Amino acid sequence: MENKIENLGINDYFKFEYENQDVKNKPEFKKWYKNAKEKIHKENLKRSKEFLQKEYDPNDDYRILTIGFCKKCMSYTICSITDYSFCYVKCNICQQTFCIGCFQELSQDNYFLINDSTCLKGYLKAFYLRIIYRRSSYERTNACYFIMHIIICLFITPLYIGFLSNLVGLIIHPKKIRKVNYSKRPMLYKLVYSIFRGFLMFPYIISFFPFSVILLLPGIFSYRYYLYIYNAYLTALFAGPYSLENVGDN
């Protein structure tokens, strides 16, 4: 296979010679990984900028690129983060979708069962990438959104963290994959349960307030910094492929 990511000029995989091979200490892998990581970073910045400057075309690929281990290809490959999922990526060689954290494959027979699931490692990895490249399920901002975010950041952050931590704990990958009726999935109950569990963090609001002030204070002097914080709160719950409308040049 000599597939290449367009305009990157690098192989989009590093294939194992045999199953379970430890390649992380091999000089060839380190060289490939460093080169791929640098060029992927530049490509991701370019894609974020193009998303804002060009009229949206569904045929164009604006997804975030990253490196993951594809069991099907038995290779470290360049992958694209799938739209609106917390942790799933798609291999650019075989098109297999899998979790970026634990490498669990997404079966089309059980798509609706595990597409909304995650693992903590995968959630944090994808969350970090969406923060760095300012991606979420929203692409526009206005003063009202900023005011709401500041209020949430100052007064409700402990509740928000409590809600997210409980929600992520409830949507972990199922150990046993089985066919289910998607319409009967109790996602609403998980959300309601997580909201009430989040309220248990209420006593920490006052003690967390100084930290929230310190977190927001640099935003007075740097609009770009504030947008990172704003997008972090947003993409933690609303994962998506869109770049914020007015993030400025990278």
Residue 229 lies inside a defined structural domain of this protein: yes
Residue 250 lies inside a defined structural domain of this protein: no
pLDDT at 180 over 60: no
Average pLDDT, whole number, for the chain? Answer: 81
Residue 177 lies inside a defined structural domain of this protein: yes
Q: Based on the structure, what is the number of domains in the chain?
A: 2
- Strands 65-70, 13-15: pairing kind: unpaired
Q: Which of 75, 72, 71 is nearest to 36 (CA)?
A: 75
Residue-by-residue DSSP string for 76-125 = EEEEEEPTT-SSEEEETTT--EEETTT--B--GGGHHHHTT-B-HHHHHH
Same domain, 26 and 127: yes
pLDDT band (50, 70, 90) for residue 1: very low
The whole domain housing 98 covers 13-133
pLDDT in tens, 24-62: 778 888 888 888 899 899 999 888 887 776 665 666 778
> How confident is the model at residue 181, as a pLDDT?
45
Non-local CB neighbours of 68 within 8 Å, separated by 6+ positions: 76, 77, 79, 89, 91, 98, 100, 103
Q: Which of 90, 91, 69, 89 is nearest to 23 (CA)?
A: 69
| Segment 220-234 mean pLDDT | 91
Non-local CB neighbours of 241 within 8 Å, separated by 6+ positions: 62, 63, 64, 81, 83, 84, 135, 137
Asked which of 77, 100, 133 is the last residue of a domain, the reply is: 133
User: For residue 81, what are the β-bridge partners?
Assistant: 89
